């Protein structure tokens, strides 16, 4: 059962960058009622799943955790309008490649906007 439909996904290579990025997104979005969530490995998957029951417009996370959430059917990324990969060269290559292929196979053709 899918819990969450992602509108904007920001992939970053490290937990530290995910926290920094989500902080900036929250600051920019607080006056526009934009909700941001950060998710990375090394934190409770259960807590992340529970947070996805709330409204989240922008999801910031590391490739491995995003794939975990998607493969468990918790995060539906097929309707994601924008995917941003920050520091792609710094990300673990096989995870980013795997994610790109995973997203490209599932996203409708008109939603395949992958920026790096």
Residue 67 predicted with pLDDT over 90: no
CATH number, domain containing residue 52: 3.40.50.300
Of residues 100 and 48, more confidence is placed in: 48
Q: 27-51, pLDDT tens digit by residue? A: 998 889 888 999 998 888 889 888 8
DSSP character string of 12-54: -SSHHHHHHHHHHHHHHHTTTT--EEEE-TTS-HHHHHHHTTS
Q: Would you say the pTM of this structure is higher than 0.85?
A: no
The number of domains in the chain is 1
Provide the domain limits for residue 103: 4-115
Please compute the mean of the pLDDT values over residues 92-106 and round it to a whole number.
61
């Amino acid at each position: 059962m899918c819990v969450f439909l992602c509108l904007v996904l920001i992939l970053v290579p490290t937990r530290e960058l995910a926290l920094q990025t989500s902080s900036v997104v929250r600051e920019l979005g607080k006056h526009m009622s934009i909700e941001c969530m950060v998710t990375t490995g090394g934190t409770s998957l259960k807590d992340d799943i529970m947070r996805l029951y709330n409204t989240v417009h922008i999801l910031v996370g590391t490739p491995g955790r995003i794939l975990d959430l998607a493969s468990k059917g918790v995060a539906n990324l097929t309707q994601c309008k924008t995917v941003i990969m920050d520091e792609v060269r710094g990300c673990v290559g096989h995870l980013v490649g795997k994610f790109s292929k995973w997203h490209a196979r599932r996203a409708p053709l008109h939603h395949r906007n992958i920026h790096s």
